[in-house]
Amino acid sequence: MSGSRASGVFTALRTQLQEAATEFASGPDALEGILLGLVDDVDRAVREPLEIFPVCHHSPASALAMARRLREKQPKVVYLELCEDMAPLLTELRNCRLPVAVQAFAGDIDGFPQEWAPLSVVAPITEASAEYQAIAYALDTPGVELVLVDRSSDHVFQWNTTASENEASAEADEAPKSEEAALHGEAVGVEIGDLRPRFAELEEHLLRHGKVRHWSEWWHQYVEVPLGDSDHDTYRQVMFLIGSLFRRLAPGDGDRVRVDEDRERHMWTRMREHMAATGTGPEDCLYVCGAFHAASRVEEFGVDGHSDSFTISPRTATTWQYGLIPSSHAAIEAQFGLAPGSVSIAATQWQKSLKRTGVRPYRLEGQAGARTSRAKKAPPAAAPAVPAPATDRLSGFLRQPPVLDGLDESELLGWSVDIVRAARRNGYLASTADAIAVFETSILLAGMRDRAKPTPYDFQDAAVTCIEKDRVPGRRDVRRLVEIMMGGDRIGQVGYEALPPLARDVYDRLEPLGLKLQQRGVQRALLDVAGRPELEACSDVLWMLRRLMPTAAARPIMGERRLGERSIQESWDLALGTHQRALIELGYEGVSIEQVLEQRLRREAYGPRATTAGVLAAVEDSLLYLRSGRLADELGTHALKVLSAERTVDGAPEVLRRARALLAYYRTSQPELPAWIESFVKAGYAHYCTLLPTAFRDEDATVGQVAAMLGFLFSMESLALSLGCDRTQLELAVAQSHPEDPSKTALLWAAQVQLGTLSRAELRARCDALLDNPLVVPSYPRYLSGFVHALEPVPGLADVVVEAVSNAFGRLPDTVLLPWLPLLITTLRKGAGDLAPLLIREAGRVFPGRLPALDTWVPPWRQPQEDPFAASRSRHMTTAVPAPRGAALLAAHPAACDALAELLGCEDGWQQQGTSALPPSGAGAALLTAYPAACDAVAELLGCDEGWAPTVGTGSPGAALTTTHPAAAEALEALLSRA
Amino acid sequence: MSELLRAPAEIKYAEELDWLESIDDNPKPFSWRLSPKMVRLFILGSERADGLDREVSQKWFGDRSFVERSIVTLASDRGLLLIGDPGTGKSWLAELLSAAICRNSTLVVQGTAGTTEDHIKYSWNVSMVIAKGQSRESMIPSPIMTAMETGAIGRFEELTRSTSDVQDALISILSEKYVSVPELESGGGDDNIVFAKPGFSIIATANSRDRGVNDLSSALKRRFNFVRIPVVTNKKSEAEIVRFRTEELLRRHAIDLDVPPTLLDVLLQSFADLRASAAAAGSDDEKLESALSTAEQIGVLEDAVLHGNFFGERALTARTLASSLVGSLTRREPEDLAILNKYLHGVVEPRSKEEGGAWPEFLEGGRDAIATLS
């Protein structure tokens, strides 16, 4: 398409290339097409009225050319290839120490597959980059507008439907990244000026012939260095050429090409829209994009390109959050597959080039972390240069011999001395002789690789050759030391002002600790909560951070937080600076950590896969960290719903543990139990009763789970019954249970003992029967497992369990016993908190404490059965009449008796000695003799037909009574005759 | 068939070296026969872009920076110590380097527990000493001393196998570059001192598995540049090496037998699997004693080829390959056998069901071999 419009500027080059194509490929064919296409691309990009500035990422040459060009041209609008939705954040860059990355983050997604969540896009920005120059110029020069034109973060994922899956799988193969390299997390990286061969063969070819090891080195040697001091036109044409080369030699990876072209369409559409809206002329603008995109051949390319053929698809409903996160050279290298150390070397190169060329770079006003004081204000802008007609700079550049790196001898000497010093500090036995050897070897290596002067990479190889011996004495090897020497890894930091409100709030609230928490590294915080009560708030924040952030960010060394407990002293290892990204990403979820925690607890509790145990855990957390009764009530009520919908008993042990802990907490800390936990116990009682028969039979339910169910039922029984539950339900449920598994059978027996339907003696007899039956013996250990688990619901059975276990050890054959031992140990270890102490205490009581005693020891269950009440019973036998000991005592101490009688309101006075000993049996008889009709009536009522017995005695007190109180006897008679 | 069972590199590639020397116009250090770039070209082979009239084959497979660093070290003041696991091609690289640089790769001292200082410096021809007294004629120079006198490269194989005092005899040779012979009188000339001529250097090899047996003194370490040769794990280049060495071997034995590519794949894959399992193993008992190097693979293949040629149907089968794999890798009884058994049943069996090909036969052969051995 460009053939007809081609200018005559590159005619000479074209002819030359045509000849070359003819010679090498014997005739016009694909090669000619590619070669001439390259020139066409360059020609077209050069002629574009809107000045295109091609860049490559992390290229100091690009940055230098950019700084020069900006000073010269002073454009009014800068279009930048960066996600358009990231624009508002760029002004915050000045508060940060570079490198940092602009991040777009979406936790809740809408319109993408749910498994992609959370989505994150990062665009790292370093100081030695062309984009930073453009940003700094545009933001700090009045009247200049910065327009980001690339697709939004949303479109990154919209258009990248397949790539994200591939990337994910590719990353899985990689070696684990170091801490610095993992600063970006799982984010998708975008950057300006991705310029790299798109297929492996080309890259391999370039590396092999360039005699270099990796891409960054190739770029440094063949593009960066030769372009370092070239003028603007040369720079532009060479970059266009490289972009076009990689583009034309790219294989047809359809998806990637489609995305690239869509991006170009998007950018040109946005630029045309902007120009039309603001009325800016193309001559006042500068379009900064990767060289790859400058060689675009889409229809929409150029100010005059098609404008109606591409519509930008609407964004999805996903809400995106934006922020700055710290980045590092290592993270950038890891994310974009650059050689380790290359970004650091680029940064050093940038500083060197600035010094050498005297170009004044742009830097944001008040940029944090600036090394030198800011240079004086730029002189008044020079009048925009009149664009000179494009001339062919390519032919000259391509023909000139490779420009040699300007590394001078004294610099190399300096490096050699420095690396030896650094090596010695790191435990190497390096000496001056090594410095000489490194120097010499670098020069020899450079010579072998056709370089007049060694590059940093040659130097690195030389240092490894001469200093590295058979082992690395310290933490870092020589290669790493050279990287550090060449600038080392720089880790960025997001300034306080640029942090989201949540992160600022956290830093503010931790202020009383008096630590510099923004710094990287681990810091120890000591909190004497008892001595300084104001630190309690800090402690709360730290515990919440521990719940929300990666473990290493806040790690308690001393002190713990459990229900109903408070630490009086705490000490923490804090690494908030190192985990700044995690803190910033928390900031996307809410404005305070309490809010984020509440949201997360709710999300966990109301999630589709929430279990009762999980909800109870959330309740516990809300009490622990938020001290929020309201939230706890709400979540607790929800737990009730979840419980009633649950049909399995998988979570029973956890539910039991948590419910017990919560109950204990409420009982000790609050005047009355919250309504939800009462309902929970009630519902739980009914729920587990219902599930019990099934669980006993179900093969999937483990004995531990069933034991936990029984534990819940027995240990909460009193509360549940007081709330109106019926014990019959449990008795029926146990009666309905017919387990087949021996361990569950044992559990059932234990439950029956607890309920009183089975006596201990019967249980013992059953165990003995099992041991006696040779057919059952092999499964006896499984019964034992059941008994061990039964300690949880029926702790009182400990003695029987000890007996059963002892019997097993004593009577089981080794072939049965030994395979079971590991199971016993693991069971006990799992229940170490509850089961083991019980069992051991009981065993300690039963077994002799010393070895000699063992010989004569007979287990209690083998001793002849004694009646525990025999002794007292025999005492009863020997004493003929039980002496009324109380009465004697009262007679001996009459004062005490008087006081008691007065207290009880008895004013009858003392009875006469002697009469009290008489049995009161005669009293009724006297009444009867006094009133024979009553006696007859009673006798008739009782069916006694015999006549009256002869009178045995008179003057009995009963008769005396009736004679003294005739009215009472009359009343009785009337009563009886009426009946 | 050549007269020599195994010709050293300078004889084997004599013609190629002559030709390279004739076209070499780059500057040469000392008395080197080839310039550093040509040495590299000789070892790593040529490409079209080098613009040579004939193709130079690649003789050593590995990262080019290792070769470059080795050459540069030899051009400097220091000795070269190639260190790595057994079978990574250290000695082969040393041989190629000395053949290219001085056309003599036979000035070799083999380091053993029995190596004495005499093997490094000189010894005496006792009968001549009795007849004529101590003189230069009655002295027997060691290979290293010969290398010094002729300005050639001396080689010291398995440096760490020899005892420390013997190793330290190298210190003065490497730093002063002369050996004094105190038995001779300093009558007039420099008869009692043997000076090294320009071009002299030493290539030593050391086995990283022997670390700690006879550790190098730091004085000696200082005088060597260490180049660590890693085990080749790249499957493509490993296949290349195995093919290259096997062809050479077959030629040497004058055996006309094809190695089917599928069997080569089986061999490479099984070694890759075994290496992976060795890397995952927790203790020494869980991994094979063998280092599983490329040389070991070549050994297995050679064994199988010879077996197939002389006892089999004059063809290489998966069955022979498996039995030679089991036979060569079993060093300890029963640990190694157990590992191989586990490998056959845990990895090869599912694979033979899934992929078929040569795997089922390989499995069969492996099982038989294990049954025979156990």
Cβ contact A266:A312 at 8 Å = yes
> With 80 as the cut, is the pLDDT of residue A884 above it?
no
Å from A441 to nearest chain B CA? 6
> With 90 as the cut, is the pLDDT of residue A400 above it?
no
> What average pLDDT does this structure show over A284-298?
85
pLDDT value of residue B101 = 94
Contact A464 B206 (CB under 8 A): no
> What average pLDDT does this structure show over A68-91?
88
> With 50 as the cut, is the pLDDT of residue A516 above it?
yes
Å from B199 to nearest chain A CA? 15
Q: Are strands A119-125 and A100-106 parallel, antiparallel or unpaired?
A: antiparallel
Here the tokens at position A971 are 């009343």
Coil vs helix vs strand at B32? coil
Percent pLDDT > 90 in chain A is: 4
Q: Does A461 lie at the interface with B, CB-CB under 8 angstroms?
A: yes
- State the burial class of residue A894 (Cβ atoms within 10 Å of its Cβ: 0-12, 13-18, 19+): exposed
Q: Which chain B residue's Cα is nearest to A430?
A: B222
Beta strand residue intervals within chain B, DSSP E? 79-84, 108-110, 122-124, 139-141, 153-157, 178-180, 193-195, 201-207, 224-229
> With 70 as the cut, is the pLDDT of residue A888 above it?
no
> What average pLDDT does this structure show over A28-39?
77
The 10 Å CB-count burial string (b at 16+, else e) for A304-341 is ebeeeebeeeeebebebbbbbbbbbbbbbbbbbebbbb
- pLDDT tens-digit series, residues B83-122: 988 888 899 999 999 999 999 999 999 988 888 988 899 9
Q: Are strands B122-124 and B139-141 parallel, antiparallel or unpaired?
A: antiparallel
> What average pLDDT does this structure show over A431-443?
89
Cβ contact A478:A461 at 8 Å = no
Contact B208 A466 (CB under 8 A): no
- pLDDT tens-digit series, residues A745-785: 998 999 999 888 888 888 888 888 888 887 887 788 788 88
> With 80 as the cut, is the pLDDT of residue A930 above it?
no
Question: Could you tell me which residue, A448 or A896, shows the higher pLDDT?
Answer: A448
Q: Does A173 lie at the interface with B, CB-CB under 8 angstroms?
A: no
Contact A445 B76 (CB under 8 A): no
Cβ contact A296:A264 at 8 Å = yes
Which residue in the set A211, A213, A437 is minimally distant from B76, CB to CB?
A437
> With 90 as the cut, is the pLDDT of residue A903 above it?
no
Q: Quote the CA–CA distance of B140 and A959 in Å, as a whole number.
A: 148
Smallest CA-to-CA distance from A62 within A264, A182, A252, A242 is with A242
> What average pLDDT does this structure show over A34-58?
85
- pLDDT tens-digit series, residues B197-214: 999 999 999 988 777 678
> With 70 as the cut, is the pLDDT of residue A738 above it?
yes
- State the burial class of residue A698 (Cβ atoms within 10 Å of its Cβ: 0-12, 13-18, 19+): middle
> What average pLDDT does this structure show over A88-110?
83
For B34, other C-beta atoms within 10 Å of its C-beta total 22
- State the burial class of residue A893 (Cβ atoms within 10 Å of its Cβ: 0-12, 13-18, 19+): exposed
pLDDT value of residue A382 = 46
Contact A449 B216 (CB under 8 A): no
Cβ contact B100:B42 at 8 Å = yes
Cite the DSSP H helix spans in A382-476. Answer: 394-399, 409-425, 432-448, 456-467
Torsions phi, psi of B157, nearest 5? Answer: -85, 145
- Contacts for B11-14: CB closer than 8 Å, 24+ residues apart: B13/B42, B13/B59, B13/B99
Q: Which residues contact A954 (CB under 8 A, 6 or more apart)?
A: none
- State the burial class of residue A767 (Cβ atoms within 10 Å of its Cβ: 0-12, 13-18, 19+): buried
Q: Does A452 lie at the interface with B, CB-CB under 8 angstroms?
A: no
Question: Could you tell me which residue, A967 or B162, shows the higher pLDDT?
Answer: B162
> With 80 as the cut, is the pLDDT of residue A390 above it?
no
The 10 Å CB-count burial string (b at 16+, else e) for B154-192 is bbbbbbbbbbeebbebbeebbbebebebeebeeeeeeeb
Å from A173 to nearest chain B CA? 14
pLDDT band for position A452 (cuts 50, 70, 90)? confident
> With 60 as the cut, is the pLDDT of residue A864 above it?
yes
pLDDT value of residue B47 = 80
Å from B341 to nearest chain A CA? 26
> With 50 as the cut, is the pLDDT of residue A824 above it?
yes
Question: Could you tell me which residue, A315 or A836, shows the higher pLDDT?
Answer: A315
Residue with tokens 């710094």: A519
Residues of chain A with C-beta less than 8 angstroms from the C-beta of B75: 444
Question: Could you tell me which residue, B247 or A893, shows the higher pLDDT?
Answer: B247
Which residue in the set A208, A213, A469 is minimally distant from B65, CB to CB?
A213
pLDDT band for position A873 (cuts 50, 70, 90)? low
Query: Distance between terminal CA atoms of chain B?
Result: 40
> With 60 as the cut, is the pLDDT of residue A565 above it?
yes
Cβ contact A56:A223 at 8 Å = yes
Which bin fits B156, alpha (ψ -120 to 50), beta or left (φ > 0)?
beta
Cite the DSSP H helix spans in A469-574. Answer: 478-485, 501-509, 535-548
Torsions phi, psi of B252, nearest 5? Answer: -65, -40
Coil vs helix vs strand at A545? helix
Question: Could you tell me which residue, A809 or B15, shows the higher pLDDT?
Answer: B15
Torsions phi, psi of B282, nearest 5? Answer: -85, -40
- pLDDT tens-digit series, residues A143-159: 888 899 888 888 888 88
Q: What angle do CA A67, A334, A330 make, to 5 degrees?
A: 65
Which residue in the set B37, B69, B226 is minimally distant from A470, CB to CB?
B226
Cβ contact A691:A643 at 8 Å = no
Cβ contact A792:A838 at 8 Å = no
How remote is the C-alpha of B73 from its chain's centroid?
18
> What average pLDDT does this structure show over A581-609?
86
Coil vs helix vs strand at A512? helix
pLDDT band for position B130 (cuts 50, 70, 90)? very high
Å from B36 to nearest chain A CA? 7
- pLDDT tens-digit series, residues B24-82: 888 888 889 999 989 999 999 888 777 788 888 888 888 888 999 999 999 988 899 99
Contact B68 A461 (CB under 8 A): yes
Distances A461 to A83, A412, A444, A479, A816 between C-alpha atoms, Å = 39, 13, 11, 8, 66
Q: Does A429 lie at the interface with B, CB-CB under 8 angstroms?
A: yes
Å from B237 to nearest chain A CA? 15
Q: Which chain A residue's Cα is nearest to B209?
A: A470
Contact A464 B221 (CB under 8 A): no
Contact B37 A448 (CB under 8 A): yes
Neighbouring-strand partners of residue B156: B109, B204
User: Of the given ranges (A41-50, A82-91, A199-208, A888-897), which has the lowest mean pLDDT?
Assistant: A888-897
- pLDDT tens-digit series, residues A10-19: 787 888 877 7
Å from B85 to nearest chain A CA? 12
Here the tokens at position A803 are 């007996």
User: Of the given ranges (A54-68, A965-979, B310-324), which has the lowest mean pLDDT?
Assistant: A965-979
> With 80 as the cut, is the pLDDT of residue A275 above it?
yes
- State the burial class of residue B256 (Cβ atoms within 10 Å of its Cβ: 0-12, 13-18, 19+): exposed
pLDDT band for position A192 (cuts 50, 70, 90)? low
Residues of chain A with C-beta less than 8 angstroms from the C-beta of B225: 437, 441, 465-466
Q: Are strands B201-207 and B79-84 parallel, antiparallel or unpaired?
A: parallel
Q: Does A435 lie at the interface with B, CB-CB under 8 angstroms?
A: no
Neighbouring-strand partners of residue A119: A106
pLDDT value of residue B260 = 84
Å from B154 to nearest chain A CA? 20
Residues of chain A with C-beta less than 8 angstroms from the C-beta of B40: 448
Contact A470 B225 (CB under 8 A): no
Contact A465 B83 (CB under 8 A): no
Å from B184 to nearest chain A CA? 33
Average pLDDT of chain A is 79
Å from B132 to nearest chain A CA? 44
Contact B211 A468 (CB under 8 A): no
Q: Which residues contact A430 (CB under 8 A, 6 or more apart)?
A: A420, A423, A424, A467
A–B interface: beta-carbon pairs under 8 A: 63
Q: Quote the CA–CA distance of A344 and A481 in Å, as a whole number.
A: 12
Question: Could you tell me which residue, A530 or A407, shows the higher pLDDT?
Answer: A530
Establish whether the linkage from the previous residue to A380 is cis, with ω within 30° of 0: no
Here the tokens at position B325 are 């794999």
> With 90 as the cut, is the pLDDT of residue A82 above it?
no
Residues of chain A with C-beta less than 8 angstroms from the C-beta of B64: 211
Cite the DSSP H helix spans in A549-674. Answer: 580-587, 593-606, 612-621, 629-645, 652-669
Average pLDDT of chain B is 86
- pLDDT tens-digit series, residues B111-128: 888 889 888 999 999 999
> With 90 as the cut, is the pLDDT of residue A874 above it?
no
Is the alpha carbon torsion for A935, A941, A947, A950 positive or negative?
Answer: negative
B-facing residues of A in 205-234 (CB < 8 A) are: 208-209, 211, 213
pLDDT band for position A97 (cuts 50, 70, 90)? confident
Q: Does A866 lie at the interface with B, CB-CB under 8 angstroms?
A: no
Q: Does A464 lie at the interface with B, CB-CB under 8 angstroms?
A: yes
Here the tokens at position A703 are 């004995």
Coil vs helix vs strand at A598? helix
Coil vs helix vs strand at B141? strand
pLDDT value of residue A644 = 84
Question: Could you tell me which residue, A109 or B174, shows the higher pLDDT?
Answer: B174
> With 70 as the cut, is the pLDDT of residue A179 above it?
no
> What average pLDDT does this structure show over A484-513?
83
pLDDT value of residue A173 = 37
Q: What angle do CA B38, B40, B42 make, to 5 degrees?
A: 70
pLDDT value of residue A171 = 37
pLDDT value of residue A176 = 45
Q: Does A449 lie at the interface with B, CB-CB under 8 angstroms?
A: yes
Here the tokens at position A909 are 């006075």
> What average pLDDT does this structure show over A948-957?
49
Distances B168 to A130, B136, B162 between C-alpha atoms, Å = 56, 24, 10
pLDDT band for position A697 (cuts 50, 70, 90)? confident
Which residue in the set B40, B222, B228 is minimally distant from A429, CB to CB?
B222
Smallest CA-to-CA distance from A82 within A159, A155, A165 is with A155
pLDDT value of residue A1 = 39
- pLDDT tens-digit series, residues B278-318: 877 777 777 788 878 888 888 898 888 888 888 877 888 88
- pLDDT tens-digit series, residues A620-630: 998 888 887 88
> With 80 as the cut, is the pLDDT of residue A490 above it?
no
Which residue in the set A431, A448, A466 is minimally distant from B225, CB to CB?
A466
Å from B253 to nearest chain A CA? 36
Q: Does A583 lie at the interface with B, CB-CB under 8 angstroms?
A: no
Contact A465 B227 (CB under 8 A): yes
pLDDT band for position A381 (cuts 50, 70, 90)? very low
A interface mutation test: which of B24, B40, B58, B65 has the most A CBs within 10 A?
Answer: B65
Q: Does A518 lie at the interface with B, CB-CB under 8 angstroms?
A: no
Which residue in the set A461, A465, A470 is minimally distant from B211, CB to CB?
A470
Å from B100 to nearest chain A CA? 16
Question: Could you tell me which residue, B131 or A805, shows the higher pLDDT?
Answer: B131
A interface mutation test: which of B76, B90, B97 has the most A CBs within 10 A?
Answer: B76
Residue A863 DSSP one-character state: S
B interface mutation test: which of A450, A469, A471, A479 has the most B CBs within 10 A?
Answer: A469
Percent pLDDT > 70 in chain B is: 98
A interface mutation test: which of B225, B227, B234 has the most A CBs within 10 A?
Answer: B225
pLDDT value of residue B73 = 92
Residue with tokens 């028969």: A693
Which residue in the set A440, A448, A470 is minimally distant from B76, CB to CB?
A440
